[in-house]
Amino acid sequence: MLEERKMIYLCLAHMSEEAWEQKYVKEAFDTNWVVPMGPNVNTFEQNLADFVNKRDGGDIERKVVCLSAGTAAVHLALIGCGVKAGDEVLVQSFTFCASSHPVTYLGAKPVFVGSEKETWNMDPKLLEMAIKDRKEKTGNYPKAIVPVALYGMPYRIDEICEIADKYGIPVVEDAAEGMGSRYKGQVLGTFGKYGVLSFNGNKMITTSGGGALICRNADDANEIMWYATQARDAYPYYQHSAVGYNYRMSNVCAGIGRGQMTVLESHIAHHKHVQELYMELLKDVSGVNLHCQPEDDKYDSNFWLCTATLDSDVKVVGQENAYKKIVKSAVGGAAGVIHAVDSAVTDCQPNSNVEALRVFMLSKKVEIRPVWKPMHKQPVYKDAPVYTNGIEEDIFKVGFCLPAGPCVSDDDVKYIVDCIKEAIES
């Protein structure tokens, strides 16, 4: 029975309106628009703009530019904020590397800010401390602030934006994991100067790859689009007054996105339902603590991934063997090529019981993963300034992600929780 069971991934292949997706993709081929522009791209951008604007409640009509990746969106947003080589950018440390790597693409320097306990996102107190200290140490304020909607959870937007306005620093919202999450009824990505979305294969909706940048007005969107299409000037030949990038979304991928927009709301509702089911089934499992959004009704997470922590004293089957073997292949889906390592341990890693739980669940054909390792603990950023109280490091040691994709059924969730119970030694 077990051998016949499907592998339950973190975010399985998306349920979608395949007929619509196939229709739009077919149109791209039939009309020979198999390039990084075209009718699907334009329509997908308008679909996205309609989605973010109708839930705003304000009078700003934002524009959206579709790009090849969420990472590209972060990169261009930083350019739009005027970030140049030698500048500093304040970035949430508890995040995926795509939030910080574009800072280094520009020759700028990431300055990492730690998290607060409730949302796991950027701590406003540490943010203001970092701003003041960088000004004192360098004579300049950082050029941008990049808070992240970790696993879809809204950050403390009011406080962060108030601090940003106080010091005149633009905010780039990394809502790559937070599409459809809201704060006070307003969609994430619409509070700052720019908002980043991702359509990677495991996100709320997918274009197989791709991303988008939410801009506050048409002028900003046009400038971003100029940079995304090689920064060509208005001559009958190719002339460039700035370095541009080949970041525009493919018309074929945008066709998939148009079809996916028809199921976005149902995906969000499903993720919330899965979170509620985990809450119900895990409430009596001692030592396993599901991460929930603040009780304040301002917060409305999409629960892109459901996350939990495991008390350090919980004993898990096989714990004595954790970190005994070096990992030989990539962990977590299509993670690409990895470099070999000569040790199974690092100076900052999940506790042995969390690693044992990962291995045990994999034997049951269930994929759980550690939460993101804080960026300031990554070897590539070992010399970067960091302002932290250690909260994100503590969460990394005890945290893990549970399957929550649109194809994760109620029966799957029940099976997953039963496996967790089996893994925990009484």
Domains of the chain with CATH codes? 18-262 (3.40.640.10), 265-423 (3.90.1150.10)
DSSP-assigned beta bridge partners for residue 58: none
Query: Which whole-number Å values give the CA distances from 187 to 49, 73, 80, 209, in the listed order?
Result: 11, 17, 21, 22
Decide if pLDDT at 77 tops 70.
Answer: yes
| Residue of 198, 221, 217, 222 lying closest to 53 (CA atoms) | 217
Decide if pLDDT at 3 tops 50.
Answer: no
Please, are residues 287 and 139 in contact by the beta-carbon 8 Å criterion? no
Q: Quick one: pLDDT band at residue 293, thresholds 50, 70, 90? A: very high
DSSP-assigned beta bridge partners for residue 366: 8
396-421: pLDDT as tens digits: 999 999 999 888 999 999 999 999 99
Q: What is the pLDDT of residue 292?
A: 97
- Rounded to the nearest integer, the mean pLDDT of the chain is 91
- Cα separation, 113 vs 374, in Å, equals 10
Q: What is the pTM of this model?
A: 0.93
Q: If you average pLDDT over residues 236-247, what whole number do you get?
A: 96
Q: If you average pLDDT over residues 49-72, what whole number do you get?
A: 86
Classified as helix, coil or strand, 224 is: helix
Q: If you average pLDDT over residues 354-358, what whole number do you get?
A: 97
Pairing of strands 63-67, 211-215: antiparallel
Decide if pLDDT at 56 tops 80.
Answer: no
Decide if pLDDT at 202 tops 90.
Answer: no
Query: Which whole-number Å values give the CA distances from 43 to 48, 181, 260, 313, in the listed order?
Result: 9, 22, 13, 53
DSSP-assigned beta bridge partners for residue 310: 288
Q: What is the pLDDT of residue 18?
A: 61
Per-position DSSP letters for 1-68, written without gaps between them: -TTTSPPB-SSPSPP--HHHHHHHHHHHHHTT--BSBSHHHHHHHHHHHHHHHHTT-SS---EEEEES
386 Cβ neighbours under 8 A, 6+ residues apart: 93, 111, 112, 113, 114, 376
Q: If you average pLDDT over residues 204-230, what whole number do you get?
A: 95
Two tokens, residue 294: 């603040």
Please count the other Cβ atoms lying within 10 Å of the Cβ belonging to residue 338.
11
Q: What is the pLDDT of residue 2?
A: 41
Q: If you average pLDDT over residues 70-80, what whole number do you get?
A: 98
